[in-house]
Amino acid sequence: MTQGVTVWLTGLSGAGKSTIATLLEQELRRRGLRVEVLDGDIVRQNLSKGLGFSREDRDTNIRRIAFVSKLLTRNGVVVIVAAISPYRNTRDEARQSIGRFLEVHVKCSLEELVRRDVKGLYARALRGEISNFTGVSDPYEEPEHPDVVVETHRQTPAESVATILAALERAGYVHSATLSGTNGTPRQSDPV
């Protein structure tokens, strides 16, 4: 049976996880694969309403995302998780439980994050107005051995997506675009 994989994007708020997730989703769908994006903020609405941002609540949220990712992955779906997921242990737990798993560190310097600050959150966090703000007033544990690192302060989103796709192909989780294209149409029933 077709097998899926979970691409787990971890990184600070504003680093570009959702943008990369959307672009990656488009490219994988173009190749005829089944894809679901589990975006941290959206999943909180559906699975974790009422949970806050304590370590315990964050972990619970991540475990729920991992549970759903596991169900989808073992049914042939490419799952793209875009969630800060600040704690190393909890990410490792997700990897263990899901198996077919690519950890991507979406890295961006704090300087650049403060410069972008689309929602004005970093400014507020730096003024001490937001407690539990990851990277400022709450910890972010960088992956020690991520499968992929993309540095969004020096790469375009398209470059980051290309890097992730190359890693997915190298690991055998998806076919290369060239292979997929040889018979003219996406091969939906092939191993992912």
Binding residues for a copy of itself, rule: CB under 8 A, are 1, 34, 36, 46-47, 49, 60, 63-64, 67-68, 71-72, 75-77, 188-189
Considering beta carbons, is residue 74 or 153 the nearer one to a copy of itself?
A: 74
Q: Which residues contact 71 (CB under 8 A, 6 or more apart)?
A: none
Q: How far is CA 148 from CA 39, 54, 58, 91, 106, in A?
A: 19, 27, 23, 14, 9
Question: Cα angle at 170 between 26 and 18, to 5 degrees?
Answer: 30
Q: Tokens 């690519």 identify what position?
A: 102
Q: Which amino acid is at 59?
A: D
Considering beta carbons, is residue 47 or 126 the nearer one to a copy of itself?
A: 47
Considering beta carbons, is residue 34 or 153 the nearer one to a copy of itself?
A: 34
Q: Closest separation between CB of residue 60 and a copy of itself, Å?
A: 7
Active-site residue among 18, 85, 160, 180?
Answer: 85
The helix/strand/coil state of 49 is coil
The helix/strand/coil state of 1 is coil
Is residue 131 part of the annotated active site? The answer reads no
Q: Closest separation between CB of residue 162 and a copy of itself, Å?
A: 26
Q: Which residues contact 97 (CB under 8 A, 6 or more apart)?
A: 66, 67, 70
Residue 169 CA from chain centroid, whole number: 17
Considering beta carbons, is residue 33 or 148 the nearer one to a copy of itself?
A: 33
Long-range CB pairs of 175-183, under 8 A, 24+ apart, other chains included:
175/31, 177/31, 180/31, 180/32
Q: Closest separation between CB of residue 98 and a copy of itself, Å?
A: 13
Q: Closest separation between CB of residue 189 and a copy of itself, Å?
A: 4
Q: Catalogue the active-site residues.
A: 85
